[in-house]
Amino acid sequence: MSGQHTTNPVAVRVRRLEERLIGAGLVEDAELDGILARFLEGASPLNGARIAARAWTDEGFRDRLLADANAALPELGLSMAGGIQQQRLKVVANTPEQHNVLVCTLCSCYPVGLLGPSPSWYKSESYRSRVVREPRVVLGEFGLELPEDVRITVWDSSAESRYMVLPRRPSGTEHMGEDELVGLVTREGLIGTAAV
């Protein structure tokens, strides 16, 4: 954390808060770096892919995941803990009638531990403002053309709440096991800007 310079307003505010905590003697810079390193150590889109594959192959897990994702994640050795507080995760499922897409309109809140570091386009002001106003157009720019009768819901993350899309299981994969299915899931599919 120390030694990094940025003009991103959120990053500047975070660094000011870190400096106040350090100045008050509540934490040391190295401790903050250690928390971040531990948090990112296991952060990977593979975690989200494992969640999706399990939900596709285990109806009970799917039901638990959609009802209370934070309670279901430990079944795969995962959690939303990390850093100072646990965040609430809501998993939203795509269906033939409903497509979900994620955004954080204020900054770039995102379930890093489950999807890995966020892509640069997710943090861009263009994506953050346009996907809310014209989601069908933005998804089309990603190459995802949805039928007009498919309803699109945009989920706006916050500091307390994160979202993950449960993509539809691809047709023709009924013979595939969970480990094989993991390889089909992409980070973009878990954000909702691509089909799986």
For each of the chain's 196 residues, which pLDDT tens digit applies?
Answer: 334 444 555 556 667 777 888 888 887 877 777 766 665 666 789 999 999 999 999 999 999 999 999 999 999 999 997 655 678 999 999 999 999 999 999 888 889 989 988 898 999 999 999 999 999 999 999 999 999 999 999 999 998 899 999 999 999 999 999 999 999 999 999 999 999 9
pLDDT for 18: 73
In this structure, are 37 and 131 located in the same domain? Answer: no
Q: Say how many residues make up the chain.
A: 196
The neighbour count for residue 32, using CB atoms within 10 Å, is 17
Query: Which residues form the domain of 133?
Result: 45-191
Residues designated catalytic: 104, 107-109
Q: Are residues 89 and 181 in the same domain?
A: yes
pLDDT score, position 54 = 98
Question: Same structural domain for residues 76 and 89?
Answer: yes
CATH number at residue 62: 3.90.330.10
- For residue 30, being part of any structural domain is answered with yes
Residues 152 and 108 in one domain: yes
Evaluate whether residue 3 is within a structural domain: no
Residue whose structure tokens are 């959690």: 79
62 and 157 part of one domain: yes
Q: Is residue 36 part of a domain?
A: yes
